[in-house]
A and B are shown apart, each in its own frame.
Chain A
C-alpha cells in the first residue's frame, strides 16, 4: 500500500466519495467529493502528537468498538496515507490538537469540502464487504451475553497489534478462556438473512482456531459446523492440520446459546449429528463466524456507476463464468469481495485481472465497439416536440439513452450493447438499430414468405440462444421438417410486434418467437421485455381471429438443439393439422385488420419502401 502511495503514476484520494459518473468507456467524467479532514495533507507527517491530547474518546471502528479512538485519529496505525482526520461529529473544538501540532500548523478547521473532477478511461470497483451483525439471531445471544463475539472481534483480540496486545482476554472478566467454541454459518446459508455461503468463514475459523491453539496449547477449541468448505489449494490439508492439532469438530448447527449468570460462561446446545444426541457444551467464550455482506452504500454507488447488483446484493458481473471481472457497463470492472465473498488469493487474482482488463483499454488510442448500435431519428422523436416520452430509456438495460426535456432522445453508442429493446418499444418508430433495421428485417421476411407462406413456419430467433440452438440442432444432425424459415436478431427484445403482424399479414402459416431463458439473456433484461410483449401480442392475435396455435413462444438455449428440433416438428404437425385451407381463410379474414395495425409503420420512409405501395400493402 505504501508503494502504491509512492508511485508517481498513482494518486490516492482518501476520505473522498465518488458522487457522479458520466460518459462512457475511455471517456468517463467523474465527480469526486473530497471531504474535509480539517488536517492539511501536505503538512501532516503522521507524527501522532495530536491524538493523545484530544479529550474525546469514541469507539474505534477498526477495533470493532473494543478499544477507543480520539476525535482526531487515523483509522489504523498502518493507514495509507498516514494523515490524521478530525471526526467533526464528535470533536468539541477545544483546539488542544492545534497546540500539540505546533509549528507544523497541519490542522485547519476552516477546511471545506472540495469537488474534484476527473477524466478517466476506466473504472475498477474494489469496495469490499461488511460483516453481518448477528444481533437479530437472538438465540445466539450476541449483544446480550458479554462473552459471545464475532470472528472479526476475535481477530482484534488475538492480534498482537490489537487493543489487548494479543492476549485473548474475555470481555466479562478479562480472564483467558479455557474453552472456546466457534459457530459457523452465522447469517449465511440462512434464508432468514442471506441465502449464500460466505465462502471464507470455514477457512478463517480454522485459522483462528490454529492461532489460538498456538498461543494457548491447552485451550479446548470446538467448531460447530454444518459443512466444512475448504476447496482451494492446500485448504483441505489446512483443515486436516487443525484436526491433527486437537481442534474438535462437531457437525451440528447450534440450536441456542445460553449464559450461566454466575460465571458468564456460555452453554451451547446442539445436536451432534454424528452421535445422534443433543449435547450441552460449556465454554468461556463463543465466537460467531459471521458472514460477509454487501458493503453499506453499495446500492448508492451502484446507481452512480450504473452497475447492477445480483439478488445477494453484491455487484453483478457481466457473465458469471465467461466475464467475471467485467460489469455490464463497458469500462467498469470489479475486483475482490465487492463482486461476492472471496478470500485473499482470489481477491488478488481478480485484482490483477481487473488491472489487465482495464489496461488493455488504456493501452490503445481508439476503442472498437460493435456497430450494431441503436440510433435515434431526431425528427421522429416525440420528446423533441416538447411532449414527454422517454419510454426508450426505461427499457435500456445499460442506461445508454439520455432524454432531456424538449430534446430528442440520444443514444450513447459506446454504452449501447445492441439489444434492440428501445427500437421495438418506441411507439413512434423513432429509433432504429444499425444493421438490424426494420426495413432489413422485413425485406428478409418478404423474401422468405414470397411463395406458399401458408405452408411455412417463420422462426424469429435471438442470436445468442435460440439461433445458437438451431445451429446446434444442425451440427448435431437432429432431424426436423424443412418447413421453417429463420430470421436472426441479436435479442428477443428486438422482435417488434409489427414483425409478427407483418408475418401473418403476408400469410405465414405459423410464427415462432424464440429467445433465451430469462436468466440467460445476454442483455440482462431484454428477454423480460420480449416476454411481456409476446404475451400481450398472443391475446391480440387471438382476438383478431388468428388461431392461437399459430403463434408460439418458446425459450430455447444454445445448447438445446434437440428442443429446437422438437418445437419445429410440433409446429409443422400443427400446421398440417390446421390445414392450408383454414389458414388461408384466417389470413383473408385478418389481412385488413393487420394492415390497419401496421399503418404507423408505413410512415417510416425506409419501411414504406420495402413494404411497397398501396394501403393493403400488397407486394409488387
Chain B
C-alpha cells in the first residue's frame, strides 16, 4: 500500500479512505457536488491534494465544512471511493489539528456536547452552545423569528429528554475527549 507521506497515510487509515489512491481525477465528484461553486477546490482537487500530502491546504479549507454529505459523489465515483466518508474523515482530522474556525465545525462540537449530555438532541441547548461558540449575534437574531414560529407551532421542545443512565452513556464519548484539541473553539 502506497504511503508516500504522513497525511496520505492518515487518510488511508480512516474508514472510507482506504481507496483514496485509486482516484484517477476524472472529475465526476466535483461535477456532481451541489456545493461545488461554494467550495475553494472541490472534491476532486481535494483527492489530488491528499495524494500529494498537502495537509496545509486541505485541512484549513472551507470545502470540508461546506460538504452536505449528500453522497452524490460517492454514488457516482467510477473507482468506488467513498468520497463523502473521506470528507467526514477530513473534518475529524481538521478538528483534531485545531482547524475549528468554520461555523460548521463549531456546530459539530455543540451537537456532540449536547448529545453527550443527554443522549438525545435538544435544540435550545444546541443553539445556546452553538451561538456561544460562534458569537454570531446577527445570526442569532435572524433565527428568532423562525424560533418563535417553531415555538408557536409546538415544534421546539422546552425540556430535554434523556437516556436512562447518562453516566454510562457518557462513557461512549470517552475516547473523543482525548482527541479534542483545546483551541478557541
Contact = CB atoms under 8 A, between A and B. Distances in A.
Q: Are A and B physically bound partners?
A: yes
Interface of A: 139, 185, 189-192, 226-227, 251-256, 269-273, 276, 278
Given A252-B26, A253-B26, A273-B25, A278 B31 contact: yes
A189 B45 CA distance: 20
Given A256-B32, A278-B36, A270 B27 contact: yes
B157 interface: no
Residue with the greatest number of chain B CB neighbours at <10 A, chosen from A139, A189, A271 = A271
Nearest to B81: A191
Given A271-B36, A271-B44, A278-B36, A192 B78 contact: yes
B28 interface: yes
Q: Give 3 nearest A-B pairs by CB, closest first.
A: A255-B31, A271-B27, A253-B26
Contacts of A272: 27
A192 B80 CA distance: 7
A190 B26 CA distance: 11
27 contacts: A189-B24, A189-B78, A191-B79, A192-B78, A227-B24, A251-B27, A252-B27, A252-B31, A253-B26, A253-B28, A255-B28, A255-B31, A255-B72, A256-B31, A270-B27, A270-B31, A271-B27, A271-B28, A271-B30, A271-B36, A271-B42, A271-B44, A273-B27, A273-B44, A276-B42, A278-B31, A278-B36
Contacts, number: 62
Given A226-B26, A269-B31, A278-B30, A139 B44 contact: no
B76 interface: yes
B34 to A, nearest CB: 10
B110 to A, nearest CB: 32
A229 B22 CA distance: 19
Interface residues of B, number: 21
Give the dominant DSSP class at A's interface. Answer: loop
Interface in B3-48: 22, 24-33, 36-37, 42, 44-45
A192 B33 CA distance: 20
A271 B31 contact: yes
Contacts of A251: 27
Contacts of A227: 24
A104 to B, nearest CB: 55
A542 to B, nearest CB: 30
B19 to A, nearest CB: 9
B18 to A, nearest CB: 13
Contacts of A255: 28-32, 72, 76
Contacts of B31: 252-256, 269-271, 278
A226 B27 CA distance: 8
Interface string B114-154: 00000000000000000000000000000000000000000
A189 B28 CA distance: 13
Report which residue of A192, A253, A269, A276 has the largest number of chain B beta carbons within 10 angstroms of its beta carbon: A253
A12 to B, nearest CB: 41
Nearest to B73: A255
A272 B27 CA distance: 8
Interface centre among A226, A251, A269 (most CB of B within 10 A): A226
Of B26, B32, B42, B45, chain A has the most CB atoms within 10 Å of the CB of B26
Interface in B60-75: 72
A190 B80 CA distance: 8
B80 A253 contact: no
B79 to A, nearest CB: 6
A278 B27 CA distance: 9
Give the interface centre of B24, B27, B33, B80 by most chain A CB atoms within 10 Å.
Answer: B27
Contacts of B32: 255-256, 269
